Structures are given as structure tokens and as C-alpha cells.
Structure 1
Amino acid sequence: MRVQMLGLCRFSYLGLRGYQVEHDSIAARRAYLYDPDRLARRWLWFQTVALPGWLAQTDPDFTLVIMTGPDLPEPWLGQLRDLCDRVPQLRLSLVPAMDYHLEACHAAVAPHLDPDAQVIGHFRHDDDDAVAVDYIARARADFARVSPLWQAEGKLSLDYGRGLIIAARDGQLKITPRICHNMGVALTIFLAPDAPRTALHFNHTKLAQWMPGVQVTRPLMFIRSIHADSDSGDMGPGLPWQPEEGTMNRLLRSRFGLRRADLAALARSLG
């Protein structure tokens, strides 16, 4: 069974709705999203936290669509173009501002659907979060183990619940190990190829309304970031877990390709 892993990452996409921070007009949203200082901070998060894991995936058979507007200011639009030209798994989608966010997300993803795939593993990814380097490989393997659930309904969610919450406040970095349910990062929605939907069409906190779901709580699979520019600054419900003493730096390197010193420097620069 051919499974395409297809993700969507919105980088300051200029459209109404679809976010917790809302605006009354495109002009107001443009002023907020395209503020140069804000864009510089978002790029730092994207480059420092999000990209390393995607560039180091052990299974390179995936597509991550980076969605933004055609009027995204320079140098950020040029940097996104250069990045997507260098990395074959990354595709840049320039979507004009639309009132209906889900339609915009589908417009970004639809051209990249694999016509030979029998199943599409849709995932969303925020530009300041991270997935582990084996997320794609494990999602594909774990789906194969539970695929009869998908076959019964044509929809299935697969959630990796063990992660780290990193908070950058007042120049300080705080890392909180957390087991969460359907956080949104490292969460795959498996759909039929002809389903006119993406992962964004399903509220990740209410997935049980639409489909069966499986949660896998090992290994460590995601990082979620909380900072001043977060769309949501709430850690949300979850359970604590405790890594072995002295292993945090190794976990960051081996699971995400990150260095704790770089994360701490990022937090200081934003403070």
C-alpha cells in the first residue's frame, strides 16, 4: 500500500481565520504578520528549531509544503525560495490572501498529492515546532500495523504523545517533558487520496468526533515551542515524564538534531 506523507507548514500566511489571534481585516493582519521584527523572530525559530529535524529525516520519502503569501516581504520570501530549491522534500506554495483559511490550505496542498498513493498521511507543522528525525519512518511503519482501522472508515489519526515543551521567556529557556494527547505536532491524519481535506480541516483537540485514533507514547517525538509570538501560549493538558538524569542534551541531539546551547542562545536573543 503506497502511503504518501504530506505536510503543511504555514509561514506567516496572510489570510483570515485559522488562527487563535484574529484580525478584522486583511490590512490589520498584514501589519501584524509582516512586521519586520516579528518576521525576523519567526525565521529564527524556523531555522533553529523546525528545520534540523526535517533535514535529517531517516526516511526522505515525504513532502512538506511551506505555505505563505506571494507578497511576503524580502528577504524572507527569497530565503524560503532558496531553501525549497535546495531541499527536494520542501515545496513552496504561494497562496493569495483568502477569507476562508481551510480552502487556502487545501489550495496549497492539492498540487502536491501523489496520484499513485493509496493513502495520504496528512500532517501539520508549525514553523517553531520540531519533530524527531524518525517521525516519517515511524509514522509509516506504525500505520502499517494499524491499517485495518483506516480501512474500516477511510480516516485514522496516529498521534505521538511524548514530547518536550520549550518556553522562551525573559531571555531564559525552560524545557518541560510532557506527554500530551493530540497536541497537533507529530500527529498524522490518514485519509483517502480523493478526500478534499488536509490535517488542518480537523480540530486536533476533537479528532474523536470524526475518526478512530491511535496514540503511541514512545519514543520522544516532538518539541512544541511557547514564546511571545506563539499563536497559543498555553502548554495545555498533559502528563509529566522524566528523562534519565543528565540525558537531556543527548536527547536533543539524537532525536531532533538540536543543541541545547543553540536553544538557550535563541531564548537570550529574544529576551
Structure 2
Amino acid sequence: MENSQNTEEEQLIIEGRNPVREAFRAGRTIDRLYVQDGLKDGPVLALVSKARKSDVIVTFVSKERLDEMSETGKHQGVVAQCAAYAYAEVEDLLERAREKGEAPFFFLLDDIEDPHNLGAIIRSANLMGAHGIIIPKRRAVGLTATVAKASAGALNYTPVARVANLSQTIEQLKKEGMWFVCADMDGELMYDLNLTGPIGVVIGNEGNGVSRLVKEKCDFTARIPMNGDIDSLNASVAAGVLGYEIVRQRMKKG
């Protein structure tokens, strides 16, 4: 995967009909297209059609919302939110593992909305030797400038794939021989699980954890021991703790 050369200072919001059209034409990675409610003229409908053909999420919002997002005041009813870095494909992650001669080791993030958490997880995953991250397109943060900064440079080396459906992706990767474990308070103590081999670690939303549909696709649920007075860990910390237990088991097996 090749990351774009955008820096965190570069503008990640493109506004106005012609600039957005040119962004699509240039192949810019666009996470979401915001369109003013009620606009149905030809140029706007053409942008909406292009976005949907490109599998870009289209969100209809009020003019007031677009005014808040706009930096120029000339959005003309359309604002595109662009990724700071290019996304990889899931196959890129598998190929990365093959090239290293290692069993695949991925993190799958179920609706992580905090960019600092995503950046911290990418950073930890890189240091663990994980082969990449998989995130969903909807209800989750993308590769924003804040994520890039929080990753402390790891985003340059650890590919992130974005998929339409996390549950379906898990099913597809199971056909590649992968197993999946999700962090869950009701799971089995992580030290009692065999977490070696080709594995995907599923970390859930900061508030609600792993969604039911995704959890049902997992082979194991792992409980991180906690002896304090509160009942949950920050998502990036949970990813780090569980991920390093996998590293420990892999090193012991080796």
C-alpha cells in the first residue's frame, strides 16, 4: 500500500462543487460526502451518483451544518471529507504476512469513534508486529490527520483496510484459516486461551464494546483481568494488553 503524501497540516475538507468533482476525478480518497438537504440540481445529483459508485458514504445535512464545516463559506451545498492517508485492501494485509513468512495477525476495530484511540492502536499494532488494521466504513473514524498524529508515524508502516461489513470480512478471513478473538468482560480469562496461529483481535466501541453481530462471528471471547473499581479499559489500552498477550504466546511457542 502507498500512503498519500498529505501532511497533517494539509486541508482534509474539500468544499464546492467543482473542487469536489475534481477530487473524485483525481482519485482522491474520500471518506464521506456531505450534501445539503433538498438540493437536487444536476451537478449535485452527479456528485451523489459518483460518490455512490465509488462506495463513498453520502450524508444529507442542513445548510447550517455545512456552514459550520466550511472554511471558505463557499461550499455550494457539498463538502467532501478526505482521508489523510490511503487505505489498503484486506488482501494487502494477508500479503504482508505472507512476505514475512508469519501467521496473519490483524486488529479489527468495531466502530472506534475516537481518533486518538485509533491512532494509539495503530501505533501499538506496529510495535507488536501486527500485519495491519481493519476498520468499518460506517460509524467509525477514518484516517484523519489527528489519527495520523496519534499514531506517531506508525501509519506510514502499518496498513489500514476499510471494509463495508466487518462480520462478512471475518467470515471471508476464516476461509483463509484465521481465528478471531474479541475482548469482552464476559469472556474467558485471556491467559487461559490459546491465542497462537493466524489470529484477528476484535476491539469494540469505546462505550458499547463489540457489537452482537460481530461478537457472534468470533471464535473466542477474552476477558482482560481487572481488579479495580471501574469495569472497563480504554479501547486502545485493551488492544495493547490483549495484543501483547498474543505476542507473548507467539514468542513462547517459537
Q: Fold conserved (TM > 0.5)?
A: no
Q: Which has the larger radius of gyration?
A: 2
With normalisation by structure 2, the TM-score equals 0.29
Higher RCO (CA 8 Å, separation ≥ 6 residues) = 1
* TM-score (normalizing by structure 1): 0.27
